[in-house]
């Protein structure tokens, strides 16, 4: 799909995955909306991308805020792609294994919070974006848009203490196919990317070298953490290649647990 005349919404756009995708798609001539709550990084990225890119402060826990971001993108140009790469606020109570060492269980509120941050919000962005894309004039092969969600290898092989997160990301994996089937009559594709261990802002806080030493050896080949631009490269290929649809692509250097 040629998005040079369209707009792109990137939630979590100021983060590692989001900013990489925003730069890549902005480089194709799309008008990018960087949707995030990291004001300084978001404004700087929009300025760097240029071509009318905008930063729109977006709370992914608020449907109204998501609708506002989608509307901002549509005002720039027809919305052709939504890259959903956001995280979200941490829960109020602690997590861990379902039954912790002290014998207490992880609360239902903790579990529900992860589903809200990583799954419900992703559905909200997907559905609001799809509603806007359905109004587009079709391009080649009757294509109106594409939605790219971000899963995780934890959705396939969650580790101890990851029940809430793994369940949410497993939902993203399931949603990729179901959304594609729902949206196919409208010419809208749905895909998901399942990253492994990447050197995003969350890991960079411990220092790039320390993070690489700790997590790089977990990757089969190459023996390093992923570069967020490798996520951006795949997001770009998904957007451009109309025959990529209805599945989740692992992006993990062969990492398995």
Residue 36 near residue 58 (C-beta atoms within 8 A): yes
Residue 183 near residue 190 (C-beta atoms within 8 A): yes
Catalytic residue among 55, 114, 118, 165: 165
Is 118 a residue of the active site? no
DSSP-assigned letter for residue 105: B
Length, in residues, of the chain: 257
Closest listed residue to residue 71, CA positions, set 63, 79, 62, 60: 79
Rounded CA-CA distance 176/188 in Å is: 12
Q: How far is CA 98 from CA 112, 194, 239, in A?
A: 13, 24, 38
Catalogue the active-site residues.
165
């Amino acid at each position: 799909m040629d998005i040079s005349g369209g707009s792109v919404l990137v939630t979590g756009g100021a983060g590692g995955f989001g900013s990489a995708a925003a730069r890549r798609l902005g480089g194709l001539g799309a008008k990018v909306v960087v949707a995030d709550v990291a004001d300084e990084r978001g404004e700087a990225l929009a300025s760097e991308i240029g071509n009318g890119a905008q930063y729109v402060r977006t709370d992914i826990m608020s449907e109204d805020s998501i609708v506002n971001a989608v509307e901002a993108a549509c005002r720039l140009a027809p919305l052709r792609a939504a890259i959903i790469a956001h995280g979200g606020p941490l829960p109020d109570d602690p997590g861990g294994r379902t039954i912790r060492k002290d014998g207490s269980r992880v609360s239902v509120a903790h579990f529900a919070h992860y589903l809200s941050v990583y799954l419900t919000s992703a559905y909200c962005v997907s559905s609001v974006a799809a509603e806007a894309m359905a109004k587009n004039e079709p391009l080649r092969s009757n294509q109106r848009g594409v939605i790219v969600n971000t899963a995780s290898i934890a959705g396939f092989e969650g580790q101890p203490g990851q029940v809430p997160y793994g369940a949410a990301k497993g939902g993203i994996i399931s949603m990729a196919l179901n959304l594609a089937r729902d949206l196919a009559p409208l010419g809208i594709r749905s895909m998901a990317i399942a990253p492994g261990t990447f050197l995003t802002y969350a890991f960079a806080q411990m220092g790039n070298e320390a993070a690489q030493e700790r997590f790089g050896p977990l990757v089969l080949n190459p023996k390093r953490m992923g570069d967020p631009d490798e996520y951006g490269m795949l997001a770009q290929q998904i957007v451009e290649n109309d025959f990529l649809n209805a599945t989740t692509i692992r992006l993990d250097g062969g990492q398995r647990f």
